[in-house]
Amino acid sequence: NAGVIQTPRHKVTGKGQEATLWCEPISGHSAVFWYRQTIVQGLEFLTYFRNQAPIDDSGMPKERFSAQMPNQSHSTLKIQSTQPQDSAVYLCASSSRGGGNQDTQYFGPGTRLLVL
């Protein structure tokens, strides 16, 4: 079991450019979560899919962030017109069911995004 895979591990973009982050959940897991991690805000929930359907995107900045899960083996987080304040580590996690209750979330290594 390879665990949750995230690519790229590091990404540097210029202000105003687009960034696309990829996540491959653990095979068989039905839930995928995206988080943003910063020193100031800690671990911020962004969005959540279950069985590929979007369940909760309450943490997503509405204007420039979007997430998709076109199939059960990968999800993408897209940030349009990146800004320096988007610089963070973006973490993807998967779990076997809903993710809450008693389900353990398994995290990927993260993508460290730096917007210059």
Partner 1 sequence: GDSVTQKEGLVTLTEGLPVMLNCTYQTIYSNAFLFWYVHYLNESPRLLLKSSTDNKRTEHQGFHATLHKSSSSFHLQKSSAQLSDSALYYCALSDTPFGVGDNSKLIWGLGTSLVVNP
Which residue, 61, 58, 95, 108, is CA-closest to 80?
A: 61
Residue 110, SS3 per DSSP:
coil
| Minimum CB distance to partner 1 smaller for 1 or for 102 | 102
Q: How far is the CB of 101 from partner 1 (least distance, A)?
A: 5
Residue 14 or 42: which CB sits closer to partner 1? 42
d(CA 47, CA 54): 8
Residues that bind partner 1 (CB under 8 A): 3-4, 33, 41-45, 48, 50, 55-56, 91, 93, 97-102, 104-110
Nearer Cβ to partner 1, position 24 or 110?
110
Nearest approach in angstroms of CB 17 to partner 1 is: 27
What minimum distance in Å lies between the beta carbon of 40 and partner 1?
9
Among candidate residues 10, 19, 37, the one with its CA nearest the CA of residue 93: 37
State the DSSP code for 86. G
